[in-house]
A = this chain, B = another copy of it.
Amino acid sequence: MYMPNFREIRFAEKKEEIFFKAAEIFAKKGYEKTTLEEIAAELKLTKGSLYHYFKGKEDILFQSFIKAHSLAVQVLSKIVERKDIPPKVKLCLAIKEHIKVLTTKFVYATLRQQELLLPAELRGEVRVERKKFQQMFVSIVHEGIEDGTFKPVNLKLVSFAILGATNWVARWYSPDGPFSPEKIGEAFADYLVGGLEK
């Protein structure tokens, strides 16, 4: 089994720290108005040393999008693959866990940025990652329609409605707001799954 050495672990940790801090500043000021100097200053690094980790500001935004989407994919794929729970439970779990991911500061801060700020080829890569987790919701709803648990709805449109409702959480959620991620997850799962049941 491959074991990363101390230097590699430190590198990965520092990179993570830069990601998180950059997302925080982007969310507060907007990507365009943020400079690499500010990100470096907040981390007590020089601008030059940021280039050990990232090619530049655009690369930070790009990798943040990929990372945010991959987190969602990781969490959802484990749920999709489960054979021990019926589609209804699976969809509840997927909605709750997706909301947990979306309400982490790094993820919602990143998703509040505009993908259009990335050049077209990088946007394409982000889209590929996003389609993966969209497809997972589609596959769970499909499973429930197939086995007769869910109403025979328009699979794609209803999956998009579920994705819209949940993804929108990243837009309005605030850790200082009245609702915890768990509370949001439960209310959304009840409502969105309830609407599918026969």
Contacts and interface: CB of A to CB of B under 8 A. Distances in A.
Interface of A: 29-30, 32, 112-114, 116-117, 151, 153-154, 156-158, 160-169, 171-172, 179, 183-184, 187-188, 190-192, 194-196
Interface of A is mostly: helix
A168 B163 CA distance: 8
Contacts of A171: 164
Given A113-B114, A164-B164, A157 B188 contact: yes
Contact of A157 (B151, B162, B163, B179): B179
Contacts of A196: 191, 195
A153 B165 CA distance: 16
A117 to B, nearest CB: 6
